[in-house]
Structure formats: structure tokens, C-alpha cells
Amino acid sequence: MGFDWSGLLAWMDAHAAVHPLFRDVYMSLMPQTVVAILALAWAGRLATLRTFVLAFVLTALVTIAIAAVFPAQGIWGLNQLHAANYPDIVPATRDLHLPIFLGLRDGSYRLLMATGSEGIITFPSLHAALALILAAALWPLPVLRWIGLALNAMMMVSIPVDGGHYFIDILAGIAIAIPCLFAARALVARLAAPAAAAASRDIVPAAGMPAPSR
């Protein structure tokens, strides 16, 4: 598709003063998630909040399932890149996950847990999927709409180098996030329908008419 991963790495290395911004944005996934949950709750956007949480969970489960079938060590491990290949920058992940990834393959690592797993999922990119879901969740909030869009657009740019992903990993992550987001919206709307129907049955007495006794 014409995407030059090495060219992007070279550009990041040549603009070392700018790279920390991309690295920090790449690491902002969890802080953004906390902000999205609190902001949506504070604004009373409960349907959007439910959709966001459900889409987050669905996307994570689908991504983990696919990654288990198609494990990949990422571009840093495949090309055996080292610090000498990027002397002026320090990407967020690099090859930190390789000892765990390779240990799982040869059986020497048997303590796979959420804490300390160092992001062993390469294909699809969960960062790319959640960046899209975060941007969609923050869009209904005027104060955070464009901030969320800008942050997550920058995250997409940072993912190849700071996450050690191929371009196809990002496309796969987006392809997962979109149907999961629509499925979450549909499920939230379906679950809300009975409550809306019950509320519509509570007839408000007309003006001047006494309310029915209970």
C-alpha cells in the first residue's frame, strides 16, 4: 500500500524534539478512558457512556481472540531493531514485549497476567481500535470533541513507531472497532427500549384533573 515504516521511523528520529509528544499521546489511552467515563457521566450522557464501555469490552475481547490465533512479534522483533536504529528517540514500547512473547512460544514463560504483559498483542492494533472508540465517545461533548479527535488522530500516527505496529495492524484494529461500536449502540438502544416503553405508559393527568389514586 506504499506505507514506508522505516521512513516514518527516520522522520521521528530526525524530529526528536517532537517525538515525546507522540509518545505521550500513545500512552494516553488509559487517562483518556478515565476522562471519557467521568465526563460522560457528569454530562448525563448515560447512553453514550454505556455504549462506550460496551464497545470497549467487545473490541478488547475480539482483538484478544484474533491475536491468540494470529500471534505476531511486531516489526521491532522481526527486523531485529535496536537502540542504534533510533539513536535520538525512545519509543514507548519498542521490543519490551519480546521476552514475554518469545517465552510464551517456547514455554519458558508461564505467568501471563494483565500486569506485566507488556502489550503482546500486535495484530490487530488494540490502540487503533480504542482510539476510534474514544473519539466517538468524546464527540457528543462540545468541550472535549475536538480535543479527543486531535489526540486520537495523533495516536494513529504514533502507533507504528511507538507501538511497533505494521500499517495493516492499524487497519485491522479500525475494522474491528467499527462493527463493535455499532453493535454496542444497537444493544444499548434495545436494552433501553423497555424502560422507555414503561415510562410512556405513565400518563400525566390533564390540567385540572385529579391524579388517579394508587
Q: Is the pLDDT of residue 81 over 60?
A: yes
Using a pLDDT cut of 70, give the percent of the chain over it: 86
CA-closest candidate to residue 35, choices 52, 22, 47:
52
The predicted structure's pLDDT at residue 1: 73
Per residue in 24-73, pLDDT (tens digit) is: 999 999 999 999 999 999 999 999 999 999 999 999 999 999 988 988 88
At residue 18, does pLDDT exceed 60?
A: yes
> What is the band of 79 on the pLDDT scale with cuts at 50, 70, 90?
confident
Q: What's the rounded mean pLDDT across residues 9-21?
A: 87
Say if residues 144 and 138 touch (Cβ distance below 8 Å).
Answer: yes
One-letter amino acid at 39 equals A
Average pLDDT of the chain? 85
The C-alpha cell that represents 15 in the structure block: 524530529
User: Within 13 Å of residue 59, how many CA atoms lie on the same side as its CB?
Assistant: 29
In this predicted structure, the answer to whether residue 202 has a pLDDT above a threshold of 70 is no
φ, ψ for residue 3 (rounded to 5)?
Answer: -80, 125
Structure confidence at residue 100 (pLDDT): 77
Give pTM, 2 decimals.
0.82
pLDDT at 214: 47
**Residue 24 confidence (pLDDT):** 93
- Locate cell 536504529: which residue? 85
Determine the pLDDT at residue 80: 77
Give the pLDDT band of residue 76 (cuts 50, 70, 90).
confident
